[in-house]
Amino acid sequence: MPLTNMFKAKGLKRRWLVNNLGLVALILLVFVAVFCITAYNFYYTNLTSQLIARADTTALFLQTYQSSDPTLFFENTRRYAEEFVDRDKMEFQVIQRNERVRYSSSDGLFSGFDPGTPDVATALKQQKTTSYAGEDSFTKERVLSVTAPLYFPNGELAGAVRMITGLRNVDQIILTLCLISIFVAVSIFGFVLFTNSYFLRSILNPVQEINEITKQIAAGEYGGTIEKKFDDEIGELADSINFMSSEIGKSEMLKNDFISSVSHELRTPLTAITGWAETLQQQSSFEKDSLEQRGLAVIARESQNLRQMVEELLDFSRIQSGRMVINKTPIDIAAELEDSMFSFEQRLRQDGLYVTYENRMGDDVIIQGDRARLHQVFINILDNARKYSLPGGTIDLSISLDQAAGMVEIRITDHGVGIAPEDLPHIKQKFYKGKSRQPGSGIGLAVCDEIVMLHNGTLTLESKVGEGTTAIIRLPLR
């Protein structure tokens, strides 16, 4: 997994990677830092110790085995500098008490030169061996120099001996070791990143599958299963989800079969009740406003309501089982809306409601649709508008053409009580009725929404409490 993707990751993946890899990275950084510091100290300390030992030994040799005569003493030191055997490894210098070079192993190249490094001044003033690591004022390269006080045989300070060696090779070795340690650290980090990513995928992929399956179950789709890849806790969870999905699917199938069977069984007696009530209304000798006539009207009306609920339950059962079929034919959508309005207008007038209608399309517009199902949608939405309208109110219908989107838009607006904001997002869900106390099954809008979607259209609701509700149906021209 690339580092950029790692830091873009979210949730458990990000927490796992950042926390674990952050700790690993910190440990590796500390390791590299400690290793480089240790290598630096090791090489510099050893080299400094070697130069100090060499400088002290040389100073002691010159003091012990040379003449006490100053002239002969310095002549012998000059000869020692000229014959210095390790000149290919280091520079040897004899320093005067005025801190200038008297002799050097570089054939007098530095004679009279002031080194200008603190080790010289310290060694002469404090008469102790001192080291210095830094830039040489003459060659401008990094060097390590050690200066030890030099005494005449009688113990008088004669000057100092100075050993200088370049640090380029040492620095190169230290840099190489540090680069190797960085490479090792990066390799370890990459290995940890790879193994962590693989381990995370083995956990998160099943979790994501579980998440998708649970969303499908929540949406009413129960056929999906999760592949069990590992025999661990995640695998047990996958088995449990699969078992749950299977059992819910069976229960849902039993429920749909029960609803379908009961609805079919209720259809026949309800049809008979409605038919006989209407027949008795027309042929009875009861007076028009008598109690008997009013009772027959109630029976006919309520049995008709029950028939509508039974039809909605049957449609719901068809939707749940995937048996809802749309038979599309060319239809004049404006004419269908007008027919639905006229067939329901008498019912609205009985409740003291008025209807307005506006056709903004001009010419007839033909779409592919199921005439009966669209009529069912229009009647259901008009009935909802009737239920929630106030007496004496108006229901407004309009139809227009959105040529750019290739859609027909139908609006049905009531000016009633409206829908509460917390209920509006759920109002099209099956059996959801919110705070409404109006009669109904709570599945009418769900069925309408499904029918509109099967026409590749949309059904949306806009509402404000106390102002009313607008149902917007958008259907494609083709």
Domain ranges of the chain: 11-172, 233-321, 329-476
Helix, strand, or coil (residue 221)? coil
Please give the CATH number for the structural domain made up of 11-172. Answer: 3.30.450.20
Q: In angstroms, rounded to a whole number, what is the distance separating the alpha carbons of residues 334 and 367?
A: 10
Please identify, in words, the CATH class of the domain defined by 233-321.
Answer: mainly alpha
Q: In angstroms, rounded to a whole number, what is the distance separating the alpha carbons of residues 145 and 91?
A: 9
The separation between CA 357 and the C-alpha centre of its own chain, rounded to angstroms, equals: 49
pLDDT in tens, 424-454: 888 887 766 665 555 555 678 888 998 999 9
pLDDT in tens, 228-254: 777 777 788 888 888 888 888 787 777
Given a cut of 70, whether residue 412 has pLDDT beyond it is yes
Model pTM? Answer: 0.50
For residue 172, give the nearest of 35, 40, 32 by alpha carbon. 40
**Which of 295-304, 390-399, 420-429 has the highest mean predicted lDDT (pLDDT)?**
390-399
The pLDDT-based confidence of 6 (bands split at 50, 70, 90) is very low
Task: Report which of residues 248 and 284 the model is more confident about.
Answer: 248
Task: Report which of residues 374 and 207 the model is more confident about.
Answer: 374
Q: Which residues pair with 408 in a beta bridge?
A: 401, 475
Given a cut of 90, whether residue 378 has pLDDT beyond it is yes
Based on its alpha-carbon atoms, the radius of gyration of the chain, rounded to whole angstroms, reads 49
CATH architecture group of domain 329-476: 2-Layer Sandwich (3.30)
Per mean pLDDT, which range of 2-11, 76-85, 195-204, 413-422 is the poorest? 2-11
Per-residue model confidence (pLDDT) at position 286:
63
